[in-house]
Amino acid sequence: MKKIALIGTGVMGQGMARNLMKNGFELTVFNRTKAKADPLVAEGAEWADTIADCVAEAEAVITIVGYPRDVEEVYLSDEGIIANAPEGCYLIDMTTTDPRLSEQIAEEAAGAGMHALDAPVSGGDKGAREGTLAIMVGGEEADFEACLPLFRAMGKNIRLMGGPGAGQHTKMANQIAIAGTIAGVCEAITYAGANGLNLRQVLDAIGTGAAGSWQMNNMAPRMLEADFEPGFYIRHFIKDLKLALEGAEDADISIPVTETVLDFYQTLEEEGHGDEGTQALIKYYCQ
């Protein structure tokens, strides 16, 4: 498997694409905004003017786009992947999207003689650049095994979680955990600052103990630096938390912390911060 189509060359897609090329895969790329793909083309990727052209000769297609509506359009429209990719192609959606949509794509892909996997990721822009993403996969085991060389080019913690949609449900659990953790980090910083403590010393003191976490050690320093560049956009995190709440409703369970943190992020988006990174949640506490 050498010929790979990649659709979506944003913050995450660029790093993933570079790691695929470093590992010897031949990459053809498409993005709605061509300028976002230009650096990859300059580094050796081929550009396609349409999705149909991008996937026409692909052995595998990787997508990482924005929202469920984008996933649906990219896969299920007449101009999309399933209508134009060759029979036998592996379709790997790495977008965080609705598990029910992943199940639909898997069913329609199978009907067209293709193999679909949902494979959302965690690790942010840093993980995408460094090839250390956690990759949570839903689909058939044989298809997962066939695509492992691709996953290993992009990530380190790679797991098959179950059938179609299972990767997405695992990612929802991931986002639920992040929501509570990053809010806790913000509250710790706010409390420490209000009591006159040196915030950098506080992070050094608590970051290696029981309170330590990826969010504490990676996002808290960026909060102190007022570095709100997106490794992951607030607007995309809002999308994810809404999907998690829909999944909780379907399962007839309550996740009140996630609901509360979603309200915080929606307030920030209304104030114009939707294109900032999730660490900008500290701004909510500074109001």
pLDDT at 124: 86
How many helices, marked H, and strands, marked E, lie in the chain? Answer: 15, 9
Note down pLDDT in tens along the chain; length 287 residues: 899 999 999 989 999 999 999 999 999 999 999 999 999 999 999 999 999 999 999 999 999 999 999 999 999 999 999 999 999 999 999 999 999 999 999 999 999 999 999 999 998 889 999 999 999 999 999 999 999 999 999 999 999 999 999 999 999 999 999 999 999 999 999 999 999 999 999 999 999 999 999 999 999 999 999 999 998 899 999 999 999 999 999 999 999 999 999 999 999 999 999 999 999 999 999 98
Q: Which residues make beta-bridge pairs with 155? A: 133
Q: Which residues belong to the active site?
A: 171
CATH for the stretch 3-163: 3.40.50.720
Render pLDDT for 100-133 as a digit per residue (tens, 0 to 9): 999 999 999 999 999 999 999 998 889 999 999 9
Domain with CATH 3.40.50.720 in the chain: 3-163
pLDDT at 158: 98
Instruction: Write down the residue that tokens 């979506």 correspond to.
Output: 8
What is the DSSP annotation of 232-255? Answer: SBHHHHHHHHHHHHHHHHHTT---
Sequence-distant (≥ 6) Cβ neighbours of residue 68 within 8 angstroms = 97, 98, 101, 239, 243
Tokens of 85: 């990719």
Around Cβ 276, how many Cβ atoms within 10 Å? 19
Instruction: Write down the residue that tokens 């900032």 correspond to.
Output: 276
pLDDT at 231: 85
Cβ distance 255 to 245 under 8 Å? Answer: yes
**What is d(CA 118, CA 163) in angstroms, rounded to the nearest whole number?**
9
What is the DSSP annotation of 89-135? Answer: -EEEE-S---HHHHHHHHHHHHHTT-EEEE--EESHHHHHHHT-EEE
pLDDT at 70: 97
CATH value of 169-285 in 2.60.120.1130, 1.10.1040.10, 3.40.50.300, 1.20.1250.20: 1.10.1040.10
pLDDT at 268: 98
Residue 158: which H helix or E strand, with range? strand 155-162
pLDDT at 150: 98
Decide: pTM greater than 0.85.
yes
pLDDT at 11: 86
pLDDT at 144: 98
pLDDT at 199: 98
pLDDT at 33: 93
Cβ distance 226 to 283 under 8 Å? Answer: no
Domain with CATH 1.10.1040.10 in the chain: 169-285
Render pLDDT for 12-39 as a digit per residue (tens, 0 to 9): 999 999 999 999 999 999 999 999 999 9
